[in-house]
């Protein structure tokens, strides 16, 4: 059991900067998704998703401390589109706010 967990932790660490699914991780441990998640939770006390999220945050914190990089650069370097999504949300919010102010302006006259 512990060998399988160690194998999967090695897989997670090797692929931490990439998108991975629980199915991929379970397969690296030669286990089903259901069995692997139960085993992981039982042995570590956290879910697979929580573990990966915490590891990514730890790596990002280390990068910020050592390299003195900007937070936005570190956040977007994990392969996700966080910065782009944030900008899209801001544009969407501004658009809705402008629409709402136009509508409200019509009623205030």
In the chain, the N- to C-terminal Cα span, in Å, equals 72
d(CA 30, CA 71): 37
| DSSP letter assigned to residue 78 | T
- Encode pLDDT of 54-90 as tens digits: 998 898 888 888 877 777 766 666 554 445 545 555 5
- Please give the CATH number for the structural domain made up of 2-70: 1.10.10.60
- Domain limits of the chain? 2-70, 79-109
Helices and strands (H, E) in the chain, number of each type = 6, 0
pLDDT digits (tens, 9 = 90+) for 41-60: 999 999 999 999 999 889 88
Q: How far apart are CA 52 and CA 46, in angstroms?
A: 10
């Amino acid at each position: 059991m512990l060998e399988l967990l160690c194998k999967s932790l090695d897989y997670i660490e090797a692929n931490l900067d990439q998108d991975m699914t629980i199915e991929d991780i379970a397969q690296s441990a030669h286990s089903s998704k259901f069995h692997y998640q139960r085993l992981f939770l039982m042995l570590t006390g956290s879910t697979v998703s929580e573990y990966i999220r915490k590891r990514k945050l730890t790596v990002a914190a280390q990068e910020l401390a050592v390299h003195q990089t900007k937070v936005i650069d570190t956040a977007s370097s994990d392969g996700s589109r966080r910065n782009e999504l944030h900008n899209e949300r801001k544009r969407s919010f501004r658009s809705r706010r402008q629409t709402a102010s136009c509508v409200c302006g019509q009623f205030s006259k």
